Amino acid sequence: MPGELASRLQPIVAEAVTAAGFDLDSFEVQQAGRRQLVKVVVDADDGVGLDEVAEVSRKVSAALDENDHVLASAYTLEVTSPGLDRPLTQARHWRRARFRLVKVTPADGAAFIGRVGHAGEHAARVLEGGKIRDVRYADVAKAVVEIEFKQPPAEDLKLLEDDASGTNAAETEKGSK
């Protein structure tokens, strides 16, 4: 039942989230006793602040109330932004992780840590060990942001910025290892 309910509610929630100017990152409906627990995770290129989460929560709540015939029971709404431990599974996740340190586990090969540069539709540029390489999303088994407690080295950021502008193409390493 929650899966069927989720498939009927998802377009309603997605429309409210999009109208608020955010992306629906994930959506889930769970049975919680007599109530339904509606979990909504929203994201944006510039991140999502607490005030923005509250605003999205109000809009989603209003949309659910307008469509209470679909829900047909009491519910608890939980709206949040993705945590740092969210895997990078879509191109927009990689784009939002620009200049962040990530641990990449390829489908074939050893895991490595690198800094994300430009993220395109099918691959991201990653600075690893002083060299820039393309990491195709299809070749990644898992990728997550690594927590850093200090500022990234300025020379790493410059390399990635120059790479995105095409000024250091000769220094790049093509293809994922």
Residues 93-106 have a mean pLDDT of 93
Closest of 142, 92, 94 to residue 116, by C-alpha: 94
pLDDT of 173 higher than 50: no
Q: What is the pLDDT of residue 16?
A: 95
Compute how many other C-beta atoms are within 10 angstroms of the C-beta atom of residue 160. Answer: 22
**DSSP H helices in the chain:** 2-19, 50-66, 68-71, 91-96, 154-165
Which superfamily, per CATH, for 2-80?
A: RimP-like superfamily, N-terminal (3.30.300.70)
Name the residue ranges covered by the structural domains of the chain: 2-80, 91-173
Q: What is the pLDDT of residue 55?
A: 93
Mean pLDDT of the chain: 88
pLDDT of 165 higher than 60: yes
Confidence category of residue 168, pLDDT binned at 50, 70, 90? low
CATH code that applies to domain 91-173: 2.30.30.100
Residues 44-48 have a mean pLDDT of 82
